[in-house]
Amino acid sequence: MEENVEKDFLTIFTQSVSNNFEEIRLSEQKISAIYTDSNKENYIKILFKLIMYPYVEENEKKNIYDNYLNINVKTSILISIKNFIKKNIHSNLENLKISNDLCIIIKHLCMHLLLDTNNNDIKQLDKYLFEILVHLFKYNISDEYDYILFYIIILYLNDGSFNHILNIINNDDKKNNMNAMKNIECIILYAQNKFILQNIDQNNYNVEFDKIMENINNIKNVINNRNNTMNDDIVNCINDTKKIYKSNDKYNLFILDDYMLYNISKENTSIQPNIENNLEQFIINGFNFMGKGIIIKDYNNNANIIDLAKYNNYNSIFNNMNVNKFKNKYIALKILRKIIKKYKDNGYVAKFDIKIILTHIEYPLTLYFIYLYNKFREYTNYINIKLNDQKNGCITNIDNEINICFYTLNDIVMNLYILLKNFYNINTIDLPEYYEDNFDIFFNIFYNFITYDIDVLRNYFLHLSITRNYKFGQNDSTKYITNIQNVGGNSNLLNLNGSDLANKLTSNNYMEKLINNFQQNMIKCKIITIDIIKIISERYQDESKTYILKMIYSLIDILYKEKDKTLLCHNYNCLSSTIKLIYHMHLEKSDLNPYIQVKFIEKIIERVLQHIKLKYNDIEEILDADLDYFRNDLNNSNAFSIKPSAIYFLKTLCSNYFDICFPTLKFKILSKNSFLASDSKQANQSQLTESPVSNDDIDSSNPFFEPCNMEYKVQLITCLNQINLSTNFYQQNIKNDLKNFVISIYMKYPNFDSLFYNVNDNIFQNNQINKTAQVGSTATANTNTAASNSGSIANKSVWLKNEEIFNPHNTIYLLSILKFILNNRNICTTEDNIVDIFSFLYHLLYNERNMIHNYSCLCINRLLNCQINKELLDGIYQNLILNILNRLLFLLKYNVYNKILNEYILITILRIFMIFSEKISNQYNILVLDLIDTTIKIIINDSHNPIFNHYLFELLTLIISLIYKNQNQTCIDMIENITISSFSNILELYIHDFIPYIFQILSIIINNTYQIKNVHLNILSNLYQMDLWKSSVGNPNGIICVLTSYFKKHNLFQDIIKNNMQQLFNIYHYCISNQKLSIDSFQIILIIFTYLPIEYYQSFLKPLFVLLFTFLQQYKNDIIKIKVIHSLSVFILKTDVTHFLSIIDQVQPGLIFNVLKSLYMPIMDKLININEKIIIFIALAKIINNEQIKRDPIIVDILNLLDKNITKNELVMKKNKIQQNFGIEKDEVDKDFEVTYVKLQMINNENINETVRHFKRQ
């Protein structure tokens, strides 16, 4: 039977990669049927069997696999599995659901395929295998991650032989621990599979694959049995984990062995033993720890080091080296990072999991990190030493040796990069104590790493250039470089032995790629190291201040030595954080603070100014900029452009050391031609340091000099932020130009407003928009002709194109003024200025260049967000606001039809409606409602901008709220007829990005309903459809939002609500049983308890309580306990404690004391959410005040816990560390919107836990 299925699958997937379109189409249908079949899980296992087959094209065709399973077919199979898993994690539909057992199997198979196979075709599938692991690690909630960590650390990063591992884990101490034995059993089973897969071939495949699956099934059974019996005692779990790595409280399982690396016997007499010990320099048996730290105490001679300088053998030590050693470890580290990357916060589950993960990695990975850095230094020095030996005539031929050494050096850097990314991910959550205790080591390595100069290997690169030209000429043969596309190690290149690698390294092309890859890897390592320093300086000031201060000089040095733009951007952002750290820690006057030195500051400023000045390349980019360029320019601390990052750094420097910076910058602002280099010495220095951008400086003879000089001064004024200086600059350089600009526009175009299309013009029909925009894209300069034709749509334009007004030079000048307005809004909102400024901004909305009309739009938004008095607002509304609104509405419509989703236009429209909601007529509400509806229909299948989507629905929310506030029946009918119709279409088409929003907006509609209509009843009835809850992970939160609105008006909808209570509890039962929804499911019973009268659900309480207590038995972790207790506490506060106790007694007499002892008391020290804490404590106080309870001795323990958790009558959260986050100022739209569920700010919904506020008032 299985053979027939395999044959069918081989045929289907072979067709899927054929050149016949009809075969491909039919195969797609058949592939889709595989994943909807009831037997899909067995089919997926069969598909993995096909993927794992060791197909080699040159091999004899011995079976059916050899005729089909080439790389293309395997790729098609794996992509189909990947797509199914991706679809599964975002859906709750039963036909798409895969079991947790299958998830465990898939994870193990993917790891084996990534780490243990020797087949080149399978190695090329690594991208898809990693994607599958990412999806499963992130969304499949399972507890086998700690087993995966055991595999990675013990079987891949560890250099100990399998016999060594068995000897360590088979001691009596480990055998006496049940949990440790389960771990050991799985490690051994996994190791058996590792060995099987490494030795599998055509002849033994079917038998060996069955063994692999049998072992994985045994592992799965151990994991499932462990999950069902484990408790949530984290201390025991951590101790059990440590027992695997330790014996007699000493780390002895994890070792790093140079003898294994070089394939040298430890009895080899040519190697001198490493007996060097220098505790002052932190060297133990040849292992240099690079500083002081607790790891030195933990060190148990876990590294067997061979000092290359003492290797007494004429033949190269690299001859027998395992050249794949570091490459395999690199892949293992990438898998480990996929697990760590899952955790982005310090919530309930993350706290538990991260502690377990740190227990696994803190010693092994810290030791491996130090070991790698030692190897990095050693190999760098070794290459130079060998080159010198050859130069001095000591060695005649070392090319192969140093090339292999350099090749390995690149692999080491790749390993270091992944380790650094792991450190970064962990530090974004919390600062592990083990890392803090080894800060001296880490920061010494960080310092050496970011100051590493690749020119150290210059002699090697020159040597390659000279010898290769001599040997091969300018054009090298490519006969050795098949399959070397991925020198970075992402594919199948490195399945080589030493001899094969030596052949590869004779290729000029290959070596050129290898060198480039090494340079890029070094830059990436420096960037992530700088990011680690930044996040430590922002979050852990007390622990890091001494080390950060020492790093500042090296970070400044990067500004002079490095050329990479991305590296410089990250470096500027890190330096900005160091300034804030010094300020926060009150170290401004400390002798350790370099920023208090005037010459030091002046030196920094001169360098930073070189990065702030516009270059000719910058001008070209500005003139041709798209919306993405504008976004990056606006982002003060982005990783794409040096200029914004340098400006933000200088601004931060000025705000903290104003007195030192002010004289230097003021002089440059007041100087006539400050844009020029201050003296020839600085200019020469700039050339010597090789600015990261091309040397295209603008001198005084350049036509762009004056506008660039203006832009430069505006940036300096922005950085200083000195009100008098800014005001004087505005009065002398900008104020008159604003008026003159507007006057010149009206002199040329007296009927300006009539020359351009507006939102009501029907130019977007019948796909004529692009043609229309091209025909009328330039407003005529002949005012008489323009005036005479102003009534005809055909003669209108989209943009104003006038070379006299909007030439390239003026564009830079106008952009300078816009940036001044944006950053000096307090000056621009006075009575004398505001009308001129808004008029200026309005006319710039007609400029076609993205940088101009988008900055103008942003300025309008930010100005309206300032504190402007009512009289001024009335003035600009009467004169300009409606014109601005009309233009913005047209631009929104125009951009959407051209597939440009510009969130800045959208948010400015939103701002206008927020500020002038009382003045804007219902006509505009109708217009915008219709425009939003049209926009949704256009982008419904291409909603690629989540920020735009968010503010589109924010605007819709505001418009709907205004309509209901004005009670305009025509508009209300539009909402219920048009808007709800569009929402139905979104639900029908399953537009994942929109669904969370429409539920929230539906809640507004229901909140404003005072008369029952069929549409309201239909919506409510549909909310009880089980498929709606199952179709998307994000749906339940949105549905609950709508149900809340209905429940608040339960008196209007009581028949439907009462009749569907059983269905609602069925839905709750489904949600709480679904791993993806179990936490969110508690919101269902919270809204029931909070908003519905008890008679609605009285009969369901006992079964509900039984379900909750049963659920607790199955999932013994803190977060579930807290959610259950919180829900019960809300019930107590909204009804009565005697009612609660009565229900508990119905479940089981005397159960309340078990509830108090096993549920309430254990979680009291673990509460984080302040609202939950208040509710639970108040409910607990009501329980123990009951006559039935207060005579029991347990009351004493409860009172002690309450006293422990309440300080000065105020409930407070416990924090291990006080963290100060110095994030940059963010624009309103600079937010990260999670697609699954995003809260709309325009919705003034009450907190679901409004009980908190109610009892606070009491």
Question: Residue 1190 and residue 1178: Cα distance in Å, rounded?
Answer: 15
Give the distance between the most distant pair of CA atoms in the chain: 101
Question: Residue 584 and residue 564: Cα distance in Å, rounded?
Answer: 31
Q: List b or e across 1088-1098, with b for residues whose CB sees 16 or more CB atoms inside 10 angstroms.
A: bbbbbeeebbe
Question: Residue 888 and residue 756: Cα distance in Å, rounded?
Answer: 12
Which residue, of 666, 686, 705, is where some domain finishes?
666
Number of domains comprising the chain: 2
Q: What does the pLDDT read at residue 1186?
A: 85
Q: What does the pLDDT read at residue 1013?
A: 82
Report which of residues 484 and 1043 the model is more confident about.
1043
Q: Which of 614, 537, 539, 544 is nearest to 579 (CA)?
A: 537
DSSP letters, 114-163, are HHT---HHHHTTHHHHHHHHHHHHHH---STHHHHHHIIIIIII----HH
Burial class (CB in 10 A: 0-12, 13-18, 19+), 952: buried
- Would you tell me how many other CB atoms lie within 10 Å of the CB of residue 789? 16
Q: 1132: domain range? A: 1097-1209
Residue 450 resides in a domain: yes
Structure tokens at 379: 């190999």
Cβ pair 1084, 1067 in contact under 8 A: yes
Mean pLDDT throughout 213-231? 81
In the DSSP assignment, the letter for residue 1225 is P
Structure tokens at 1248: 């679901």
Which residue, of 666, 681, 696, is where some domain finishes?
666
Mean pLDDT throughout 161-170? 88
Parallel/antiparallel/unpaired status of strands 256-257 and 303-304: parallel
Three-state SS annotation for 699-727? CCCCCCHHHHHHHHHHHHHHHHCCHHHHH
Structure tokens at 590: 């400390």
Report which of residues 262 and 1168 the model is more confident about.
262
Question: Residue 212 and residue 195: Cα distance in Å, rounded?
Answer: 10
Residue 1181 resides in a domain: yes
Strand-pair partners of 283:
278, 288
Burial class (CB in 10 A: 0-12, 13-18, 19+), 376: buried
Question: Residue 287 and residue 607: Cα distance in Å, rounded?
Answer: 40
Q: CA of 95: how far to CAs of 47, 81, 140, 726, in Å?
A: 19, 15, 17, 65
Q: What does the pLDDT read at residue 228?
A: 59
Mean pLDDT throughout 442-446? 96
Whether residue 1222 is predicted with pLDDT greater than 50 in this model: the reply is no
Residue 283 resides in a domain: no
* Portion of the chain with pLDDT greater than 90, in percent: 45
Cβ pair 438, 369 in contact under 8 A: no
Whether residue 888 is predicted with pLDDT greater than 80 in this model: the reply is yes
In the DSSP assignment, the letter for residue 304 is E
CA 422 to chain centroid, in Å, comes to 14
Question: Reduced to 3 states, what is the DSSP secondary structure of residue 1206?
Answer: strand
Residues with Cβ within 8 Å of 260's Cβ and at least 6 positions away in sequence, in order, are 159, 161, 322, 325
Report which of residues 120 and 888 the model is more confident about.
888
Residue 110 resides in a domain: no
Mean pLDDT throughout 122-140? 88
Average per-residue pLDDT for the chain? 83
Whether residue 210 is predicted with pLDDT greater than 90 in this model: the reply is yes
pLDDT level of residue 693 (50, 70, 90 thresholds): very low
pLDDT single digits (tens) 332-370 = 999 999 888 877 665 555 567 778 888 889 999 999 999
- Cα end-to-end span (Å), the chain: 71
Q: Which of 171, 169, 176 is nearest to 150 (CA)?
A: 169
pLDDT level of residue 315 (50, 70, 90 thresholds): low
Alpha-carbon torsion, ordered 1145, 1147, 1153, 1159, to 10 deg: -140
Report which of residues 506 and 546 the model is more confident about.
546
Whether residue 94 is predicted with pLDDT greater than 80 in this model: the reply is no
pLDDT single digits (tens) 807-865 = 999 999 999 999 999 999 888 888 778 899 999 999 999 999 999 999 999 999 999 99
Residue 1144 resides in a domain: yes
Mean pLDDT throughout 542-566? 91
pLDDT single digits (tens) 737-778 = 999 999 999 899 988 888 899 888 877 765 554 444 433 344
pLDDT single digits (tens) 799-822 = 998 888 899 999 999 999 999 999
Q: Where are the beta strands (DSSP E) in 794-904?
A: none
Residues with Cβ within 8 Å of 428's Cβ and at least 6 positions away in sequence, in order, are 344, 535
Q: What does the pLDDT read at residue 142?
A: 58
Residue 58 resides in a domain: no
In the DSSP assignment, the letter for residue 281 is G
Tokens 């009328």, residue?
776
Question: Residue 287 and residue 306: Cα distance in Å, rounded?
Answer: 10
Mean pLDDT throughout 420-425? 93
Whether residue 889 is predicted with pLDDT greater than 90 in this model: the reply is yes
pLDDT single digits (tens) 1092-1147 = 999 999 999 999 999 988 888 776 667 788 889 999 999 999 988 899 999 999 99
Please give the backbone phi and psi of residue 278, each rounded to the nearest 5 degrees, phi first: -145, 90
Q: Where are the beta strands (DSSP E) in 1083-1163?
A: none
Cβ pair 511, 468 in contact under 8 A: yes
Tokens 């898993």, residue?
85
pLDDT single digits (tens) 19-44 = 888 899 999 999 999 998 889 999 99
pLDDT single digits (tens) 928-961 = 999 999 999 888 877 788 899 999 999 999 999 9
Return the minimum-mean-pLDDT range out of 91-100, 196-205, 475-484, 1097-1106: 475-484
pLDDT single digits (tens) 567-580 = 999 999 999 999 98
CA gyration radius for the chain? 34
Report which of residues 558 and 229 the model is more confident about.
558
Q: What does the pLDDT read at residue 773?
A: 42
Residue 964 resides in a domain: no
pLDDT level of residue 473 (50, 70, 90 thresholds): very low
Parallel/antiparallel/unpaired status of strands 303-304 and 1206-1207: unpaired
Mean pLDDT throughout 692-715? 82
Which residue, of 617, 638, 666, is where some domain finishes?
666
Question: Residue 426 and residue 431: Cα distance in Å, rounded?
Answer: 7
Q: What does the pLDDT read at residue 1?
A: 67
Three-state SS annotation for 209-240? HHHHHHHHHHHHHHHHHHHHHCCCCHHHHHHH
Mean pLDDT throughout 1146-1155? 88
Residue 603 resides in a domain: yes
